[in-house]
Amino acid sequence: MLSFNTVYAQQTNDPIIEYIIESIVDNQAEDFDYTELVDRLNYYRRNKINLNKTSREQLQELVFLNPLQINALLNHITINGKLIDELELQSIDGFNLETIKNLLYFAGINTPSGFENFSFKNLFKEGRNDILIRYNRYLEAQKGYSPGSTSRYLGTPERVLTRYRFAYSNNIQFSLNVEKDPGEKYWNNTNNQTGPDFVSASLYIKDLRKLKKLAFGDYTLQFGQGLTLWSGLSFGKGADIFTVAKQDLGLRAYTSVNEYSYFRGVATQINLGKFDFTPFVSYINLDAGIALNPITNAEDISSLQQSGLHRTNSELNNKNRIGQFIFGGNLQYNYKKLSIGLTAYHSKYSKNFAPGNSLYNKFDFTGNSLNNAGINYSYTLKNTYFFGEFAHSLNYGFAYVNGLISSLSPAVSMVLFHRNYQKDYFSFYNQGIGESSTAVNEKGFFGGLQIKPSRKFELNFYTDLFKFPWLKFRVDAPSTGYDVFSQFTFAPNKTTKFILRYQFQNKQQNAANQIFVNTLEFVKKSNYRLDAQYQINKNFSLKNRLEIVQYHEENTNNRFGFLAYQDINYSPLSSKLSGNMRLAMFETDGFDTRIYAYENDVLYGFSIPGFQEKGIRFYTNARYNLKRGVDFWLRYSITKYNDQTTVGSGLDEIQGNSRSEIKAQIRFQF
Amino acid sequence: MKRFYFLIIFIVSNFQLQAQINYGPRITAMGGAGVALQDVWSAQKNQAGIAGLKNPIISAGYENRFGVKELSTQSAVFAIPIKNYALGASFQSYGVDAYNEVKTGLSLAKSFGPKLLAAINLNYHQLKIDNYGNSQSFSVEVGLQYQAFEKLWLGTHIANPNQSKYGEQTEQIIPAHIQFGASYLFSDQLTISSEVEKVLDNQADFKVGLEYKVVKFVALRGGISVNPFKQFAGFGINYEKLNLDFAIASHPVLGYSPQIAIGYEF
């Protein structure tokens, strides 16, 4: 029998959180902000979940538990009563030591929770405040800031984030984020824009009598499998094969700094026995590009802009250019192992969407109002969890998914997932699983296996076949492709781990050499990755990675990409100082063979930069605990390219062959 | 004298093209990864597997490719264990009157103790093309299966190592391949098997499949092969001595190929 009472130091690089994130965010864009997830995991690390009082939804927030494990845990408590000892977890189906170790990192069996001792006196006495200020900038001068050039950034080159959190137990949370990106002004006062570039605030209250949740300000909504309505954080296909079964969290406060995909207004979740009703209303201004419609002579929306960058006059002009009004509701029925949800909402825009002018976007949404409705289900039968959603955009197309997770034996779990998204299915908050980033114009079938014969070995394997019935950007015909993924993990002991990963993708795109007619060709991409992690002593651990990408278009030579890095982590249990550093070398034949790698950052910071061309990357990252409740982080990174005289493009261009960044962060907790 | 000509044909001819062996719906539904499985259809896949059978079994099946009537295969297999030995017979006919390929096989398998099974198989091939002529040929296959430990079987199969052919006049060849793989019994309900295959003058393929017994008499199966990429699924129903198996293979471009077989265990 093992004991789980390990003491963890607070460190900049949290290996458990890092592992969780890297296993699920594989296919995300590199500039996505995962603060919300890192924040959430860090929050539960400090305010542990009480497993005896927890809910399905709270367990889902931990993202690494799959639906079958959650069911098994809740079922165990229902049948056997409260957990008395943490060792009891070992007797639950689907819980191996790794899962239990991860779970107990964020949860316990006796931790206090709820409004049990609430009073306003306690609110301010026991409430926790958290203020964090982060500053970062490139050290080299970029073209957009040079005084001479005609088109230039209006603001200053640093990024500054200020965030404030107040939390009382798990029940009252207030969040405020104020941010400016590089090139943006601290205070906008042009084009009817006044104030800081990005401000987001939310007040979130949980378990107030019948009101399970109540959110004012910015919030996100996630229902079903993400076809009808899913905003904010979302995962696709990744090393964790279970992420294709989305675990919806319903209403949540929005605490991230992605300047897109959230709502602003009021929403609440009311509990009525077996039913939960979540009505919501939101009005928000969105960034959009505008095109003049030649027929009506009115301004049409040519594109919605998601970058949240407002650095130049034209970007500022597009800021908050259109209004979006949304209202609707979700009704959820939960009974034992069955859950059925109905979601419907109406969205209205202050301008029309312009009709697509290319063949590939012929079926895109036009007009200014849209009604969406969807029904989702999940059901557990013995060792199998069934899930799915059927969604319809009224007067337009359909989309549906169906899938299952089955634990075939104690060592083997299987995932099957089928999807069909019509080419004229529209939802502005659609994050269904697929090869494309949005669930439209795609059919596919995913099959995955996870084999864990013992604590030492783990094999994850999936294949995914996809078809695009209509044209896509740069694919001038209906096309098809497939994905094969396998990852083998070997952990000979508690402090050593090897991960071997192989991924192969074959899909069609326009042929490189077009003569009269665009034809398609198959493009093959293979990824080979080897990770080695080992702890040298109590203070030091090392990690190596080797990754090779092979990219092949028909009638051209193979192109290769190569990345190798060495990490050193220093995280002593009882020192005020901790930190880590990495030296990486990369060499790729251009953009198609670029390689992404997760990097450690200051707390809540997050980055998965992509490397291309040839060069060296170095970063170092340190945290210092000044005194109780005051922490300071410092990060320096530099990328040095061989054979290059400039770095970056457009207004971001730097003269010279290297780009370096400094990042400082201070946090006060009281 | 005839044999001499065959020998000449074996040595001289060097045309190549892929012909298709039908592995039966159980192995097909598992992605074709059956080199380490024991089944009556091992008579077509890896003949060593029939030495693992307890009773005589006969099975007959029909396969259609991609919904094209002309591309269908009828096949039948039979195996009978006799003490440490097992005898097997296989028959398959592919195509239509205008183009027809028939393969008839006889195999002898022996178990050397409970852990090692080995077999040798002789095939007689007939090819008939209207207005063109007929051709015949022989080929050899050998197979091995070894139980590495209680739940793990390893298997190897080699077909047509001497690269026998129909003759100088035809481009139709009898494929030469080597396959090896493993099957693992995770529980009474679950078997996973995998296989690497190299066909001469063709790319290597990797296959993996699983069989899950939902209840004692119903099995669900699925599998994939990566090169070419194909997905497979199927089920089997076992009612007393009768076996009914169904499989469907899906190719992303060419479409679906269903097959069905009925077997009887004596």
B3 burial via Cβ count (<10 Å: 0-12, 13-18, 19+): exposed
Q: Is B261 exposed, middle or buried (CB count within 10 Å of its CB: 0-12, 13-18, 19+)?
A: buried
Domain ranges of chain A: 50-108, 211-454
Backbone torsions φ then ψ of B28, nearest 5 degrees: -60, -45
Q: Which of A265, A288, A154, A149 is nearest to A200 (CA)?
A: A265
8 Å CB contact of B229 and A463: yes
* Coil vs helix vs strand at B10: helix
Tokens of B64: 């259609």
A266 touches chain B (CB under 8 A): no
Percentage of residues in chain B having pLDDT higher than 90: 55
Letter for the amino acid at A478? P
pLDDT band at A5 (very low <50, low <70, confident <90, very high): very low
A100 touches B at CB < 8 Å: no
Q: Note whether A618 contacts B: Cβ–Cβ < 8 A.
A: no
* Residue B187 with chain A: CB contacts under 8 Å: 408-410
* Residue A511 pLDDT greater than 80, yes or no: yes
Q: Round to whole Å and give the CA distance between B158 and A499.
A: 33
* Cβ under 8 Å to B: A residues 582-601: none
CB contact under 8 A, A484 and B187: no
**Beta-strand (E) ranges in A382-515?**
384-393, 398-409, 412-421, 442-451, 457-468, 479-493, 496-510
Contact residues, chain A, for B234 at CB < 8 Å:
none
Lowest mean pLDDT among A49-53, A373-377, A448-452, B114-118: A49-53
d(CA A389, CA A294): 39
Beta carbons of A383 and A360 less than 8 angstroms apart = no
Closest residue in A to B250 (Cα) is A465
Are residues B187 and A409, on separate chains, in Cβ contact within 8 Å? yes
Residue of A nearest to B209 (CA): A449
Contacts of B192 in chain A (CB under 8 A): 412, 449, 451
Burial class of residue A3 in the structure, from the number of CB atoms within 10 Å of its CB (0-12 exposed, 13-18 middle, 19+ buried): exposed
Task: With CA atoms as reference, report the closest residue to A371 among A441, A302, A426.
Answer: A426
CB atoms near residue A482 (< 10 Å)? 23
Name which of B150, B190, B253 to mutate to probe chain A: the one with the most chain A Cβ atoms within 10 A of its Cβ.
Answer: B190
Among the partner residues B208, B222, B253, nearest to A480 by beta-carbon distance:
B253
Chain A residue whose CA is closest to B224? A463
Size of interface A-B (CB pairs under 8 A): 49
Write down the architecture of domain B2-265 according to CATH.
Beta Barrel (2.40)
Q: Cβ–Cβ of B231/A410 closer than 8 Å?
A: no
Scan residues 188-247 of B and list those with Cβ closer than 8 Å to A: 189-190, 192, 208, 210, 212, 222, 224, 226, 229, 231
Facing residue for B212 by CB, picked from A408, A447, A506: A408
Q: Suggest the residue from A383, A404, A408 to mutate for an interface test with chain B (most B CBs closer than 10 A).
A: A408
The 3-state secondary structure of A81-141, one letter per residue: CCCCCHHHHHHCCCCCHHHHHHHHHHEECCCCCCCCCCCHHHHHHHCEEEEEEEEEEECCC
For residues B218-240, one letter each, b for 16 or more C-beta atoms within 10 angstroms of the residue's C-beta and e for the rest, the string is: ebbbbbbbbeebbbbbbbbebee
For the residues A495-507, what does the mean pLDDT come to?
Answer: 91
Query: What pLDDT is attached to residue A217?
Result: 94
* CB of A42 closer than 8 Å to CB of A59: no
Residue in A410, A465, A480 nearest the CB of B231 = A465
Kindly state whether A454 is in contact with chain B, defined as any CB-CB distance less than 8 angstroms.
no
Q: Is A411 on the interface with B (CB under 8 A)?
A: yes
pLDDT in tens, A402-460: 999 998 888 899 999 999 999 989 888 988 888 887 788 999 999 999 998 887 888 99
To the nearest whole number, what is the mean pLDDT of chain B? 86
Residue B147's Cβ-count burial label (10 Å; 0-12, 13-18, 19+) is middle
Residue B221 φ/ψ region, left for φ over 0, alpha for ψ in the -120 to 50 degree band, beta for the rest: beta
Q: What is the 3-state secondary structure (H, E, C) of A199-232?
A: EEEEEEEEEECCEEEEEEEEEEEECCCCCCCECC
For chain A, say whether B82 makes contact (Cβ under 8 Å).
no
DSSP designation for A640? E
Give the CA dihedral A237, A239, A242, A245, nearest 10 degrees.
-10
CA distances from A590 to A217, A257, A513, B209, B212 (A): 44, 31, 18, 37, 45
Which position has the token pair 């609707």? A328
Long-range CB pairs of A380-386, under 8 A, 24+ apart, other chains included = A380/A67, A380/A68, A380/A71, A380/A337, A381/A337, A383/A68, A383/A93, A383/A407, A383/A408, A384/A68, A385/A66, A385/A67, A385/A68, A385/A71, A385/A245
Q: Is B259 exposed, middle or buried (0-12, 13-18, 19+ CB in 10 A)?
A: buried
Closest Cα of chain B to A549: distance in Å?
Answer: 19
The region, left, alpha or beta by phi > 0 then psi within -120 to 50, assigned to residue B61 is beta
Tell me the residue type at A63.
Answer: V
Residue where the block lists tokens 């979302």: A234
- CA dihedral sign, ordered A514, A517, A518, A524: negative
pLDDT at A354: 82
Mean pLDDT, to the nearest integer, of A248-267?
A: 90
Specify the pLDDT at position B122: 93
Q: Are B24 and B77 in contact (CB under 8 A)?
A: yes
A404–chain B Cβ distance below 8 A for any pair: no
Which is nearest to A236 in space by CA: A504, A493, A489, A24?
A24
For residue A272, give every residue at least 6 positions away whose Cβ sits within 8 Å of its Cβ, in sequence order, or none.
Answer: A210
pLDDT tens digits, one per residue of A170-184? 788 899 999 999 988
Q: A interface mutation test: which of B191, B215, B224, B225 has the most A CBs within 10 A?
A: B224
Partners of A346 in the β-ladder: A327, A371
Residue position matching structure tokens 């074996």: B10
Of the candidates A352, A369, A364, the one whose C-alpha atom is nearest the C-alpha of residue A301 is A352
Tell me which H or E stretch contains B3.
Answer: helix B2-12
CA-to-CA distance for A479 and B121, rounded, in angstroms?
Answer: 43
Which of the residues B150, B151, B192, B227 would you substitute to probe the A interface, choosing the one with the greatest number of A C-beta atoms within 10 Å? B192
Q: Do B189 and A409 touch (CB under 8 A)?
A: yes
Asked if the C-beta of A381 comes within 8 angstroms of chain B's C-beta atoms, the answer is no
Asked if B61 contacts B75 with a C-beta cutoff of 8 angstroms, the reply is yes
The beta-carbon neighbor of A412 closest among B186, B208, B226 is: B186
Instruction: Report the C-alpha gap between B208 and B226 in whole angstroms.
Output: 9
Write the residue in B186, B208, B252 that is nearest to A480 by C-beta.
B252
Please count the other Cβ atoms lying within 10 Å of the Cβ belonging to residue A474: 9
Number of residues assigned to chain B = 266
Q: Which residue of B has its CA nearest to A507?
A: B252
Residues of A in Cβ contact (< 8 Å) with B185? none
Chain B residues touching residue A445 (CB < 8 angstroms): 231
pLDDT (tens digit per residue) in A19-34: 777 777 654 444 566 7
Alpha-carbon distance of A133 to A227, in angstroms, equals 36
Please judge whether B210 and A463 are an interchain contact, meaning their C-beta atoms are less than 8 angstroms apart. Answer: no
Residue A79 has a pLDDT of 85
Give the three-state DSSP class for A261: coil
The yes-or-no verdict on residue B1 having pLDDT over 60 is no
The whole-model pTM stands at 0.84
Q: Give the model's pLDDT for residue A269.
A: 94
For residue A11, the model assigns a pLDDT of 42
Question: What six digits make up the tokens of A363?
Answer: 């079926």
Q: What angle do CA A82, A86, A91 make, to 5 degrees?
A: 80
Q: Residue A411's pLDDT is what?
A: 86
ipTM over 0.85: no
State pLDDT tens for residues B44-100.
999 999 998 889 999 999 998 888 877 888 999 999 999 889 999 999 998 888 888
* C-beta atoms of B252 and A467 within 8 A: yes
At residue A278, the pLDDT reads 95
User: Under an 8 A CB cutoff, do A412 and B190 touch?
Assistant: yes
> Which residue ranges make up each domain of chain B?
2-265
A344 near A315, Cβ under 8 Å? no
Q: How far is B186 from chain A (nearest CA, A)?
A: 7
**Residue A17 to residue B171: CA distance in whole angstroms:** 60
- Backbone angles phi and psi of A610, in degrees to 5: -105, 135
The β-bridge partners of B229 are B226
**pLDDT score, position A116:** 54
Nearest chain B CA: its distance from A446 CA (Å): 10
| Tokens at B158, concatenated | 């080699």
Contact B252 A409 (CB under 8 A): no
Q: What is the pLDDT of residues B14-55, one digit of tens each?
A: 333 345 788 999 999 999 999 999 999 999 999 999 998 889
Q: What is the pLDDT of residues A67-124, one digit of tens each?
A: 888 888 888 888 888 888 888 888 888 887 788 888 888 888 876 655 555 566 666 6
For an interface test with B, give the residue of A405, A463, A502 to mutate (most B CBs within 10 A): A463
CA distance A38 to chain B (A): 36
Beta carbons of A270 and A215 less than 8 angstroms apart? no
Per DSSP, the three-state class of A69 is helix
With CB atoms and an 8 Å threshold, state whether B210 touches A449: yes
Can you tell me the mean pLDDT for B255-263? 91
